[in-house]
Chain A
Amino acid sequence: MTNPRYDEQFRRGYAGPPVPPPAQASVSTPEPIAPERPNHDSHATPVPVGGEQVAGEDSRAETADADRPLEVGTTRPFRRNPFAIGLLAVGVLMLIVGVWLIEQSTAPTATFDQQAVSQVESQLTAPLLTGGVVAIVAWLVLGAFAASTGRRSD
């Protein structure tokens, strides 16, 4: 009894003419969304990021998550997100500037201009500290969402 799932040419006892294999171009390969990555010959191979050639050795498999190559069809690691890195940097910068302004407000002033600038600077302290804390909290929340999303897709 023949298996109906297979084409007739692959069934036992087929005596017809040989059928040429289908052309390679007829296979529909999905177009990549972002074609700026040059090294993706096949969508089954890992794609090295940032020009790094990562060897497939066993010792490298235990490296940190950020050092592993990106695999096609997976979510991107949060540590490589440039905007998240920028968000964290902006938050830390705002906190540093806020603390620096607090220290500056205690310095003695001599002229009217210095007093005026000192008072205006002291007004900036609260928004800067608040913005820095909000940025760092947003970075943490984004990281948590990215981790939960990546775990769900695995």
Chain B
Amino acid sequence: MGWRSITLAALAIGLGVAAGLCLATETRLLVAIMAAYSAGSDSGPTPAQSAAQASLNAQFSVIYQLAGPLVAGSLLCLVGFLVVLAWRWQSRRIPGQN
């Protein structure tokens, strides 16, 4: 296995782990945002609640934009890894050729 195949496999694993962490953080942030918005009274949120909501929204925005490309990159690296292995297997000839 060449260094390109190993790089692709390492990228697929690394990006997959990063995407999983992003998705888990995103889920946790979404739950926190929903809980923060539902905790507000009829008179509106307090300044402290508004600041907390704004902070959660900013974090969620960053994570939300990261997760999609990380998942896509991980899947593409997996596909590329399989393509490289399939190509190497295909281009090898049957043993015994001169």
Contacts and interface: CB of A to CB of B under 8 A. Distances in A.
Interface string B66-77: 011001100110
A138 B34 CA distance: 41
A83 B97 contact: no
Q: What is the interface residue range for chain B against chain A?
A: 20 to 34
Q: What is the interface residue range for chain A against chain B?
A: 35 or more
Contact of B68 (A35, A40, A74, A126): A126
B20 to A, nearest CB: 11
B96 A142 contact: no
Interface of A: 30, 32-35, 37, 40, 43, 47, 70-76, 78, 81-84, 86-87, 90-91, 94, 112-113, 115-117, 119-120, 123-124, 126-128, 130-131, 134-135, 138, 142, 145-146, 149
B6 interface: no
A126 B75 CA distance: 11
A84 B90 contact: yes
B47 interface: no
A74 B94 contact: yes
24 contacts: A34-B95, A40-B96, A72-B97, A73-B93, A76-B89, A78-B90, A81-B86, A84-B82, A90-B82, A112-B30, A112-B31, A112-B34, A112-B35, A116-B27, A116-B34, A117-B27, A123-B64, A123-B68, A127-B72, A131-B78, A138-B82, A142-B87, A145-B87, A145-B90
